[in-house]
């Protein structure tokens, strides 16, 4: 345990120095407040024993400065000039105890022992809280595959753990190999102040400028004027406000993938090695998770692109169904707009429309393009396409909402459809909309075995299916849209 002794009376300092040494503490001495602050800026102490009246800087002023430190030590005042006013003022400023000279050595020993024990418990408590913050963040990071969510959790935990005023994340751009500002989180000031500060920081930092600072180091703490501080605060008019900057390199699979910067804008609050060590572990975990999330999102996008291409290819090779999905989507969206569905719902319906027959990928062309009625077993194969579609789309997390729409698009209002024989409102609304749109386009399109129906005949067929094949409410809306549907037909 480190104790700082501050007194201009050499005899008292020497005596207390040996007493504390005998008690097993590591004492350091200073003869006034200025000297004491120099010691406090270089290393952390558990306890400060200070006189009140000293040249250059007295005990009360020193106490005020100690209060601004990030992890302030406890303070015991030892004075020969005690007044009720100074005692009250000192206690208000958070002083732990007040010893009057001349003092009894045993009393000093006991007071120091009690203070050290209190300090130990408080530090343990703080460490425990920090561990809980880090543990919760780590759990949240592990359980997410969304890069934006992971970044949010990481920045938030970094601010809480280090008491930083602002956390800024740079991620490496694989093409340019530069670090690009990718996220930030402020914990003090208004949102506007935070945005303004972040806006003044460099949006891109060249990796080769940064790399020399992190050769063999994962964490860097820089003070104003240092080269790293200059590089990261660059042209910012606020760089003078950044009293301390903690930078942590992010590595995933042994590759440099980004940089987490924590800014202290509070005068006197500087980051410690302890902050760096704790956050390095969190940053490493976050970096790995961000990489995984990007990889996952990339894989999902590729997969989605692949099945979209398959859907196009499926229609392209068959002149009878060419453009079918596109046309079904147009009709379905027109119905949805008339039903006043939300923009998000209409977008969802659009995606489902484009992919509703994706399951036909698994069906042979001989059956799909058969120029005549299907046999019972061929019809059974056709009926499998919503199920196959579900299996194809299910692995794409971002499409999870359209899977049931696609799966149920051949259900009938009277319950005689497939694959599950759902009826009425049990069929998802968007599947019911697709059902009407799908049937109308099939009827009005040319097929290998029949001519297309003219629009009036097709509308009449839809009307005939109201209440048996189709939801009557949707049929009503569709029939009211007759003119716009015919205009959409011309577009196809």
CB of 411 to Fe ion, least distance (A): 11
The interface region with Fe ion, picked from 174-182, 232-240, 268-276, 349-357 by CB under 5 A, is 349-357
363: which 2 tokens?
């069906």
Q: Count of residues binding Fe ion (CB under 5 A)?
A: 1
CB of 356 to Fe ion, least distance (A): 6
The interface region with Fe ion, picked from 109-117, 210-218, 309-317, 350-358 by CB under 5 A, is 350-358
**Contact by Cβ (8 Å): 405, 434:** yes
Nearer to Fe ion, 34 or 453 (CB): 453
CB of 427 to Fe ion, least distance (A): 14
Alpha helices in 93-222 (DSSP H): 105-142, 147-162, 191-199, 207-210
E-state strands within 130-276: 166-172, 179-186, 204-205, 219-222, 244-252, 255-264
The interface region with Fe ion, picked from 48-56, 320-328, 352-360, 417-425 by CB under 5 A, is 352-360
CB of 409 to Fe ion, least distance (A): 6
Residue reference for tokens 């009827």: 443
Nearer to Fe ion, 97 or 357 (CB): 357
Nearer to Fe ion, 184 or 408 (CB): 408
CB of 381 to Fe ion, least distance (A): 13
Helix (H) or strand (E) holding 144: none
CB of 305 to Fe ion, least distance (A): 22
Q: Which of residues 282-301 bind Fe ion (CB under 5 A)?
A: none
CB of 306 to Fe ion, least distance (A): 20
Nearer to Fe ion, 291 or 438 (CB): 438
The interface region with Fe ion, picked from 77-85, 154-162, 189-197, 355-363 by CB under 5 A, is 355-363
**Contact by Cβ (8 Å): 90, 291:** no
Nearer to Fe ion, 291 or 357 (CB): 357
Nearer to Fe ion, 63 or 368 (CB): 368
Q: Which of residues 107-136 bind Fe ion (CB under 5 A)?
A: none
Residue reference for tokens 């500002």: 181
CB of 434 to Fe ion, least distance (A): 8
Nearer to Fe ion, 35 or 357 (CB): 357
CA 467 from centre of chain: 48
427: which 2 tokens?
């069929």
Q: Is 476 helix (H, G, I), strand (E, B) or coil?
A: helix
Q: Is 243 helix (H, G, I), strand (E, B) or coil?
A: coil
390: which 2 tokens?
């579900």
CA 149 – CA 153 distance, rounded (Å): 6
Nearer to Fe ion, 275 or 357 (CB): 357
CB of 382 to Fe ion, least distance (A): 8
Paired strand residues for 77:
50, 98
Nearer to Fe ion, 288 or 417 (CB): 417
Paired strand residues for 166:
186, 263
Site string for Fe ion, 174-213 (x = CB under 5 A): ----------------------------------------
For residue 357, state whether it binds Fe ion (rule: CB under 5 A).
yes
The interface region with Fe ion, picked from 119-127, 315-323, 357-365, 420-428 by CB under 5 A, is 357-365
CA 58 – CA 466 distance, rounded (Å): 92
E-state strands within 230-384: 244-252, 255-264
**Contact by Cβ (8 Å): 279, 248:** yes
The interface region with Fe ion, picked from 244-252, 331-339, 353-361, 390-398 by CB under 5 A, is 353-361
**Contact by Cβ (8 Å): 413, 471:** yes
Of 95, 78, 112, the closest CA to residue 3 belongs to 112
CB of 484 to Fe ion, least distance (A): 23
Give me the residue whose beta carbon is nearest to Fe ion.
Answer: 357
CA 419 – CA 237 distance, rounded (Å): 65
Nearer to Fe ion, 315 or 357 (CB): 357
For residue 441, state whether it binds Fe ion (rule: CB under 5 A).
no
* Sign for the pseudo-dihedral over CA of 457, 368, 404, 333: negative
CB of 448 to Fe ion, least distance (A): 17
**Contact by Cβ (8 Å): 431, 404:** yes
The interface region with Fe ion, picked from 66-74, 99-107, 334-342, 356-364 by CB under 5 A, is 356-364
134: which 2 tokens?
């880090």
Site of interaction with Fe ion (CB under 5 A): 357
């Amino acid at each position: 345990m480190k104790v700082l002794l501050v007194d201009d009376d050499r005899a008292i300092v020497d005596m207390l120095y040996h007493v504390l040494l005998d008690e097993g503490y590591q004492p350091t001495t200073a003869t006034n407040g200025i000297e004491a602050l120099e010691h406090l800026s270089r290393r952390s102490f558990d306890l400060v024993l200070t006189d009140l009246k000293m040249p250059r800087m007295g005990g009360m002023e020193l106490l005020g400065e100690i209060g601004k430190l990030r992890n302030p030590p406890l303070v015991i005042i030892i004075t020969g000039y005690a007044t009720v006013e100074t005692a009250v003022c000192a206690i208000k400023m958070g002083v732990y105890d007040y010893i009057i000279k001349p003092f009894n050595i045993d009393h000093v020993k006991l007071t120091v022992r009690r203070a050290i024990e209190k300090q130990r418990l408080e530090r343990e408590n703080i460490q425990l809280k920090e561990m809980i913050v880090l543990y919760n963040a780590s759990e949240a990071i592990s359980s997410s595959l969304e890069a934006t969510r992971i970044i949010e959790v990481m920045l938030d935990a970094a601010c809480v753990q280090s008491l930083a005023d602002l956390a800024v994340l740079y991620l490496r751009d694989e093409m340019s190999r530069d670090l690009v500002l990718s996220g930030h989180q402020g914990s003090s000031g208004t949102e506007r102040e935070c945005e303004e500060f972040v806006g003044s920081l460099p949006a891109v930092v060249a990796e080769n400028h940064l790399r020399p600072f992190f050769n063999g180091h994962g964490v860097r703490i820089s003070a104003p004027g240092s080269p790293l501080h200059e590089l990261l605060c660059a042209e910012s008019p606020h760089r003078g406000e950044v009293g301390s900057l903690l930078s942590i390199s992010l590595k995933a699979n042994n590759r440099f993938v980004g940089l987490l910067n924590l800014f202290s804008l509070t005068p006197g609050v500087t980051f410690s090695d302890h902050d760096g060590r704790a956050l390095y572990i969190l940053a490493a975990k976050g970096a790995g998770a961000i990489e995984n999330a990007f990889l996952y999102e990339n894989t999902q996008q590729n997969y989605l692109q692949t099945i979209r291409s398959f859907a196009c290819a499926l229609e392209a090779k068959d002149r009878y169904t060419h453009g079918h999905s596109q046309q079904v989507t147009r009709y379905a969206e027109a119905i949805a707009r008339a039903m006043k569905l939300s923009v998000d719902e209409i977008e969802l319906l659009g995606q489902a429309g484009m992919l509703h027959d994706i399951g036909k990928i698994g069906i042979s062309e001989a059956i799909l393009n058969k120029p005549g009625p299907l046999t019972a077993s061929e019809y059974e194969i056709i009926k499998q396409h919503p199920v196959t579609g579900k299996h194809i789309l299910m692995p794409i997390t971002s499409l999870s909402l359209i899977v049931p729409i696609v799966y149920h698009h051949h259900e009938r209002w009277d319950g005689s459809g497939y694959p599950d024989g759902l009826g009425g409102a049990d069929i998802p609304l968007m599947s019911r909309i697709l059902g009407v749109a799908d049937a109308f386009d099939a009827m009005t399109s040319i097929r290998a075995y029949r001519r297309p129906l003219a629009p009036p005949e097709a509308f009449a067929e839809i009307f005939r299916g109201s209440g048996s094949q189709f939801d009557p409410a949707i049929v009503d809306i569709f029939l009211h849209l007759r003119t716009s549907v015919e205009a959409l037909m011309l577009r196809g």
